[in-house]
Amino acid sequence: MKKIIILASLIAFIGGLVIAQQYFSKKSLPASKQVPIAGKQFGGEFTLRPEGGAPVSLSDFKGKVVVMYFGFASCPDVCPTSLAIIGSALKSLSAEEVSDVQGLFVSLDPERDTGEKLKQYAGYFHENFRGITGTQEQLQKVTRQYGTYYTKVVGSSESNYQIDHTSATFIIGRDGKALPPKSHGSTSEEIAAAIREAL
C-alpha cells in the first residue's frame, strides 16, 4: 500500500511539472518566436531612414538577391554568430554569384547603431554587407512585414540594455519577393544553397 501511495505521489509530481512547464512556456515569448505578420503578404517593399541619414529602400537593390538579418551591433552572441555564418555563405559563392547579392544588416538599435559604427560592424562580416536602420516606427513596420519580434530589455543603466529579437536569415529574390526564411541554426552551406536557388 505504501508503494502505491509513493508511486501515485511521484506521478502527480511529474504531471504537475509538465503542466507548469506548458503554462509558463505560453506566458513567455522567446526570441525565436515570430509574431503575426501585418497584412496578407509576407515581406515586401520597405524604406528605412535613420535620423539625419539618407533613406534606404528594398527596391534600391532590385535585380539583386538580398540577404537580410535583423539584430543590433551590441549583441553579445546571437548576432555575430549568425552574421559570421551568413558571411561564410557569401564567401563560398563565386565572384560572379556574389556580385549579384546584397547583404543587409537591419539594426533594431537606432539609438546606438549610427553612422560609421553601423557601417564598420556590417562590413566586418562581408564587404557586401550594408548596415541600415530607421526610426522605431519604421522598424516596427518592417519587422511586422517580415514576421519578426523584438523588444528592448532594460539593463543596469539607461544606456546598458539588450534587445531580445528573432534570429532568422531572410532571402529576397531579384523580384523583391521574400523566400521562406532560414531559421536560427542554419548552416552556411544551407544559406549558400538558398542564395544560389534565388539567383
For the segment 108-150, what is each residue's pLDDT rounded down to a tens digit?
999 999 989 999 999 999 999 999 999 999 999 999 999 999 9
SS3 letters for 101-169?
Answer: EEEEEEECCCCCCCHHHHHHHHHHHCCCEEEECCCHHHHHHHHHHCCCCEEEECCCCCCCCEEEECCEE
Q: Give residue-wise pLDDT tens across range 139-193.
A: 999 999 999 999 999 887 778 899 999 999 999 999 999 999 999 999 999 999 9
- Is 47-198 a domain of CATH 3.30.450.40? no
Distance CA 10, CA 16 (A): 10
Single-letter amino acid, residue 198? A
- Please determine, for residue 6, whether its predicted confidence score (pLDDT) is greater than 70: no
Grid coordinates in use for 92? 563560398
Distance CA 18, CA 110 (A): 41
Q: Give residue-wise pLDDT tens across range 13-29.
A: 334 433 333 333 333 33
Q: Give pLDDT, residue 41.
A: 63
Q: Sheet of 65-71: strands edge to edge?
A: 129-132, 101-107, 65-71, 168-172, 182-183
Instruction: Please report which helix (H) or strand (E) contains residue 44, including its range.
Output: none
Residues 6+ apart with CB under 8 A from 120: none
Q: Give residue-wise pLDDT tens across range 42-101.
A: 899 999 998 878 999 999 999 999 999 999 999 999 999 999 999 999 999 999 999 999
Residues 6+ apart with CB under 8 A from 180: none
- Please determine, for residue 32, whether its predicted confidence score (pLDDT) is greater than 50: no
Backbone region of residue 41 per phi and psi (left: phi > 0; alpha: psi in -120 to 50; beta: other values):
beta
Grid coordinates in use for 2? 505504501
* Strands 129-132, 101-107: pairing kind: parallel
Classified as helix, coil or strand, 34 is: coil
Q: Give pLDDT, residue 160.
A: 87
Domain coordinates in residue numbering, the chain = 1-29, 47-198
- The one-character DSSP state at 94 is -
- Please determine, for residue 9, whether its predicted confidence score (pLDDT) is greater than 70: no
